[in-house]
Amino acid sequence: MLTKLAMTGFKNRWRDYLVLFSGLIMSSAIFYMFEALATNQEFLKQNSSISMIGIIFQFGAVLLTIITLVYISYANSFLLSMRKRDYGLFMLVGARKGKIGQLIWLETLLVGISATIVGIILGTALTAGIGKLLINTLDLTLHHFAFWHTPAAIATLLLYVGLFLLAGLFNLITLTKTPALKLLHSNEQPNRPRLKPVRQLIEIILGLILVAIGYWAMANLALLNITGIGLALVTIVLGTYFLFNAIFVWLMLFLKRLSAGQRGLNGFTLSQLSFRIRNYTKMLSIVAMLFALALGAITVGMGFHAQTPLMANGNSAYDMGVVDANATEKRQIAKLKPVKKATYHFKADKKAVYYLASEFDQQPFTITEMTSQAQLDYHQKALKSAALSKSHDLYQLMQLQTSDRQRTAPVFLSATAYAKLPQKEQQLTIFATKDLMANLDGLKDLATLRQQRDKGIAKGLLGGRYGSYKLVNGMYSGLEFMGLFLGIAFLAMLASCLMFKILSGADADQHRYVMLDKIGATQKQRRQAINKEIAVLFVLPGIVGVIHVLFGLQMFKLMMIASPYSGIWLPFLIFAGLYLLYYLITINIYHRIVLR
């Protein structure tokens, strides 16, 4: 009988359960997406040049677990609030507390486990879809990426089932020990904020100090190493919570005292926010952190993507070199419409490559400066040739040769000395296009033709800007993918958290807007009140998140050749558009619920 009554209650509030269930599905899906990378050690090792990438992901897993814990606690509170009145009625009609406790336990586990399983399936599909989209769109080179990773699924299932077991136990104790009359009137008890000046001042000061320490740690990562990441994680999370908890309460009460706060329905909007202010501070802190993680990850991912052609262009002034180009290769070069082209004759043996010095006077070889000394050191180490490592200029010339000659030394001879050499004369044709990135497909076709004649080149460097692009793209593809993939995942988690928190109270808010309708408020005024209230909840964590990102990008100054702030407007603009879209979706759903 109790089961039938519970199912009836479920049918009557299916909208609320849909909000709860969809939120939990999205949460577990995002957690699986993160773990699909974090638990795949082969993927992390093969696709990142950062030695401590595994530790970084462990810190990320801890942070995401904390976020998940807070999210599930809110979801469980929402589930509990929906059932308090029902279970209070069951007690009044004589149901045994033991039976009700069993029902509570089963209901909580059923909701949690089913949502987690569906979430893992959705997370697998999202991992495959987003991964394939990023790889194809950005021409990324990845190794050992798998959309299904069993350890990730196990970690997600264990975490969520464990949390819901605890939630079920908490619900059982709470509902069975609460008097029936109190359960019936639980939703009618307001949570009024009270100003505690001393406590709030301490929280503000402590919050600012903690956030400042976190920003300093991120800016001095070279000094602190992995300790800096852990320090920043703890201090920024705690500092953000303290600031929201202290300032947000004070801000709402302060605005209500202003004349503008009482204009139109502004007083009602501020009262709505104040009514549940304590419940919002934790969630807004989490949303601010997710906002910073999502925006930061996308910005860094796009930064690494933009850095790849910069590094390629800095390594050589020419796209590629072709030795003894045949008719097919010459036609392919002509199709690329090079803006710079030169041909040098040479003879070679096992020790050196001999060039005609006069040809370099007639067709000067263009040299580019390495973007940084670190790059030069890297290439010198890779070449392992004393003759070439002494001269960056000679390296740029020799990398355009065939793979077996890239490590030999060039010798420049007069026409007389050159003519005395018995070796067969050959030609090196080098060229540069106007835009490397715009001609990648054509250069790829030419590289294929080169590799068919020079079998060893598949294992060596292609040389030139195209070869450097392939090398650097292989080095940074993993970081680009991780940044953009996790940025999209955190963005979805952000939207899920904020939308769930807002929409979970929509049904209870409906009668308040009915009262506004009865006292003469127009439909337009009520819509504007809703838009303002939800806008505040979106804007506040957004502002804090942007500040976190601007300071957090300091961490990547060591890893990026260009400034991590270069072109920052583009990811910020894209993110703002997506954030606005989530806001519009949220207010649209909220309108349908409370104004129906």
DSSP per position, 366-397 = P----S-HHHHHHHHHHH--HHHHT-HHHHHH
| Cα separation, 256 vs 251, whole angstroms | 9
Sign of CA dihedral 415, 421, 424, 430: negative
What distance separates the 2 farthest-apart alpha carbons in the chain? 113
Residue 377 identity: D
Block residue for tokens 């970084």:
56
pLDDT at 381: 41
pLDDT at 520: 78
pLDDT at 61: 80
**Tokens coding 505:** 């109270």
Smallest Cα–Cα separation from 538: which of 287, 289, 292?
287
| Cα separation, 555 vs 564, whole angstroms | 9
DSSP 142: -
| Cα separation, 259 vs 75, whole angstroms | 37
Cβ atoms within 10 A of the Cβ of 596, count? 7
**Tokens coding 418:** 């050159």
pLDDT digits (tens, 9 = 90+) for 107-145: 778 888 888 999 999 999 999 988 888 888 877 777 778
pLDDT at 120: 93
pLDDT at 154: 92
Smallest Cα–Cα separation from 341: which of 314, 369, 319, 367?
319
Smallest Cα–Cα separation from 465: which of 311, 319, 339?
319
Cβ(397)–Cβ(365) under 8 Å?
yes
Cβ atoms within 10 A of the Cβ of 129, count? 11
pLDDT at 388: 35
**Tokens coding 308:** 């790849």
Residues of the chain scoring pLDDT < 50? 371-390, 392, 459-460
pLDDT at 187: 53
**Tokens coding 542:** 């957004």
Beta strands in 255-330 (DSSP E): 320-323
| Cα separation, 370 vs 392, whole angstroms | 8
3-state DSSP assignment of residue 426: strand
pLDDT at 121: 93
3-state DSSP assignment of residue 492: helix
